[in-house]
Chains A and B, each alone.
Chain A
């Protein structure tokens, strides 16, 4: 079983520090919190550096095209405490964009480029936001549900 962070305390601490920005996200994994897009960089820095949590490794950066929104999912992991946390950011369908966290982890660089390339989510402040897997002249973002593929 995964070791999970005390989300209640964490969310309280984050809200106190950065103003109402985080809440517990109920899903089947019981390890997710939801963060407002414009606060993501501060929250990530805090999660990495706060000695009570030290979520110092980013395990995965994923994105899902739900019918109601785009969700960017960060899976974080602590080497010190061996616990895990999932951070979710919900974006509206029309203009999906959020700040880049390359300043927190350089590992996010290529992962954000991949999400941009395949899902069409813009990361503002990213140093080099270009397509990474597909050709530069490719039209569309294949992982979106409205993209039709012929296979």
Chain B
């Protein structure tokens, strides 16, 4: 006898399309998703607990392991939170601030590069993947020059940066920035303007403004639904208020918009880096901070515009050398909780894309 039956499908935890050790259980009616349930925690290392037994400085390398696609920005968020707790935000030397801006934007290019490349791979466009990873690898080479590692540079310090960067770094950086412009044309030709790509992504998994705010979206995902909100412009930190850049906003909130907005943001990042390279002053790169860091009793919450969203640290100090509490606000952890609703009713091949479009990194989701 012929009958229909709901099928339960387990995706992950080790699956190339889940972008890490993430598992979801899908209830399928044919090839359409009825229900999805998230299962996370496979990469939980207890970083928040570990922070309580490390000094403030010792925790900097751990932040690299949060969102491992943007190590430098994570470090930046953390050291800025500690600086806020100590009340020394105003004392950071200009050159260090410019270096931080340059490196954070460089890291954004790398992180968005991963997003675009793996998104291309998820729509089965392997060519786009290789073109984008070509530039992304050059970004990583530069980061290697900065910190000695591709993903975990450990370069930011409380009060500045570890060391100054020489002429050769800036020469190579300029070279890379110049090669990004023709590269964007290639990306647009290969993916954005591609008819097959558009028909796979346009109008799928549309997120409304209300839903995005309800689920606590932030960063590029929030801007893709038409909310014009970027911390770099609206609550400027470092020297972002001196930079000329646009905040790209799209209005459909579908997969295509979430892809395009990151491509546009990369263009703006290149713009910011070029300006910062021109304006960077000479001078010291470290403020005068005590050898032993002992913030006064109190708390601070600071967040910055990371590549994936707003990365925030809530630090509580009891006056000792170690934080009393270090809560990490991970943007993708919160946004991932919208996946079941975004995936409901879509085709199973689109669910993979929807998951990719949230831009999850499991190091950050699980901490």
The residues of A with any CB-CB pair to B shorter than 8 Å are: 2, 27-29, 56-60, 62-65, 73, 75, 79, 82, 86, 105-111, 114, 118, 131-135, 142-143, 147, 149, 151
Contact = CB atoms under 8 A, between A and B. Distances in A.
A127 to B, nearest CB: 12
Interface stretch (B44-52, B145-153, B246-254): B44-52
30 contacts: A28-B296, A28-B297, A29-B298, A29-B300, A56-B213, A57-B216, A57-B218, A59-B310, A59-B329, A60-B301, A60-B312, A60-B327, A60-B329, A63-B327, A64-B325, A75-B314, A82-B234, A106-B214, A106-B215, A107-B214, A107-B216, A107-B334, A110-B334, A110-B336, A118-B49, A132-B40, A133-B40, A133-B44, A133-B367, A147-B49
Nearest to B324: A64
B313 to A, nearest CB: 9
B216 A105 contact: yes
Given A27-B298, A60-B327, A73-B314, A107 B215 contact: yes
Interface in B280-304: 296-301, 303
Most chain B beta carbons < 10 A, residue from A28, A133, A134: A133
Contacts of A106: 214-216, 337-338
B19 to A, nearest CB: 18
B241 to A, nearest CB: 12
A131 B229 CA distance: 33
**Nearest 3 A-B pairs (CB), nearest first?**
A107-B216, A28-B298, A62-B327
Nearest to B337: A110
Contact of B41 (A56, A132, A151): A132
Given A60-B312, A62-B327, 18 more contacts: A27-B298, A27-B299, A59-B301, A59-B312, A60-B301, A60-B329, A62-B314, A62-B325, A64-B325, A79-B227, A86-B301, A107-B215, A107-B337, A114-B333, A132-B41, A143-B48, A147-B49, A149-B49
A57 B213 contact: yes
B299 A60 contact: no
A32 B269 CA distance: 35
A106 B213 CA distance: 9
Contacts of B229: 79
Interface residues of B, number: 39
Dominant secondary structure of chain A at its interface with chain B: loop
Contact of B50 (A73, A75, A151): A151
B63 to A, nearest CB: 16
Contacts of B298: 27-29
Interface in B256-311: 296-301, 303, 310
A64 B49 contact: no
A59 B325 contact: no
A106 B334 CA distance: 9
Contacts of A133: 40-41, 44, 366-367
A88 to B, nearest CB: 10
B351 interface: no
Contacts of A27: 298-299
A74 B40 CA distance: 23
